[in-house]
Amino acid sequence: MSDNTRVKEAIDKATKRLNDNYKSQGIFEKEIGENLPKKADIIDTLAEIQRVIFPGFFGKENSAYVKLDNFAGSAIAVIYERLFKEIRSTLLYRGDKKRGADFDQEVEELTLKFIDKLPDIQELILKDVEAELEGDPAASSKEEIIFSYPGIYAIFVYRVAHELYNLKIPYIPRIMTEYAHGKTGIDINPGANIGEYFFIDHGTGIVIGETTTIGKHVKIYQGVTLGALSTMKGQQLSGTKRHPTIEDNVVIYANATVLGGDTVIGKNSVIAGNTFITESVPENTRVSALMPELKIKSRK
């Protein structure tokens, strides 16, 4: 660090070039004085929701001493206030809304609609926990599942984000599911429609695309892709049904790939692991692949 001047000049040169880059990009100079909520705040809201959905599991209270009648109210008040602010900032940030009493009224509506869905989300996620317990021979109790299963965490976050997606809130749903994706390796787009008693095992590598529809009592294992058939057209496909439909009671084993918006896996069917499916499968079918013949040679 012999020479401050030299360091200062180098920093100055980089600063100038970065400034030039900034100016060549519309996204770095905003017109409206509102920022997106920080990711950390959205994650906190998610934690508050988790606390109220599973009382006694994630907060500091011991459920042995809490009268449950007393529990949810003040937590929901916190969720309401935070979400109001986050939804408000997000809509302003996108730039198609104007501050004012009407807009605040609209944000209130949206937030209350979400609050109204909280008990439904809870009912669904408790059914998912049941499905997990029934389906996994390694699970010893619902408590263990709620505390430690990444599949349940990913589904919980999806179910929350999906309600916000349905309300057409921008950014927040995806920030939520990508947070869960980062923690679990399970990537469920908030736009997907997933029925009750959904079961995920292990989970790492699962991808469930935006226009996927999944029925009730479906089981999915690690590495399964429910994806689009071809994405060469990029943005032109936005809004079209690109991902498959999975009907009730279907099981899809590890690393299977099911692609295409017209692909329907009929109810009660079982898809074996490592299969590659691009066409519909009728109901009550067991699909496996003629596995490639193994070449077995002795070593040395």
Rounded to the nearest whole angstrom, what is the least distance from the CB of residue 248 to a second copy in the complex?
Answer: 13
Rounded to the nearest whole angstrom, what is the least distance from the CB of residue 204 to a second copy in the complex?
Answer: 5
Task: For residue 196, give the nearest of 288, 123, 114 by alpha carbon.
Answer: 123
Query: Running DSSP on this structure, what letter comes out for residue 27?
Result: G
Q: Which two tokens stand for residue 79?
A: 């969720």
The residue among 46 and 118 lying less far from a second copy, judged by its C-beta, is 118
The residue among 106 and 195 lying less far from a second copy, judged by its C-beta, is 106
HEC per residue, 243-254: CCEECCCCEECC
Task: For residue 47, give the nearest of 61, 58, 36, 55 by alpha carbon.
Answer: 58
The residue among 201 and 245 lying less far from a second copy, judged by its C-beta, is 201
Task: For residue 212, give the nearest of 167, 168, 262, 163 by alpha carbon.
Answer: 262
Rounded to the nearest whole angstrom, what is the least distance from the CB of residue 216 to a second copy in the complex?
Answer: 16
Tell me the C-alpha to C-alpha distance, in Å, between residue 158 and each of 163, 178, 254, 261, 295.
Answer: 9, 10, 21, 21, 42
Rounded to the nearest whole angstrom, what is the least distance from the CB of residue 97 to a second copy in the complex?
Answer: 14
The residue among 53 and 160 lying less far from a second copy, judged by its C-beta, is 53
CB-based burial label for 30 (10 Å; 0-12, 13-18, 19+): exposed
Displacement of CA 53 from its chain's centroid (Å): 17
Task: For residue 41, give the nearest of 79, 9, 91 by alpha carbon.
Answer: 79
The residue among 150 and 195 lying less far from a second copy, judged by its C-beta, is 150
Rounded to the nearest whole angstrom, what is the least distance from the CB of residue 181 to a second copy in the complex?
Answer: 6
Rounded to the nearest whole angstrom, what is the least distance from the CB of residue 13 to a second copy in the complex?
Answer: 7
Query: Can you give the C-alpha Rg of the chain in angstroms?
Result: 24
Rounded to the nearest whole angstrom, what is the least distance from the CB of residue 200 to a second copy in the complex?
Answer: 12
Bridge partners (DSSP) of residue 199 are: 219
Helix pair angle (150-166, 172-184), 10° resolution: 170
The residue among 76 and 195 lying less far from a second copy, judged by its C-beta, is 76
User: Which amino acid would we find at residue 279?
Assistant: E
The residue among 166 and 275 lying less far from a second copy, judged by its C-beta, is 275
The residue among 73 and 193 lying less far from a second copy, judged by its C-beta, is 73
Rounded to the nearest whole angstrom, what is the least distance from the CB of residue 195 to a second copy in the complex?
Answer: 19
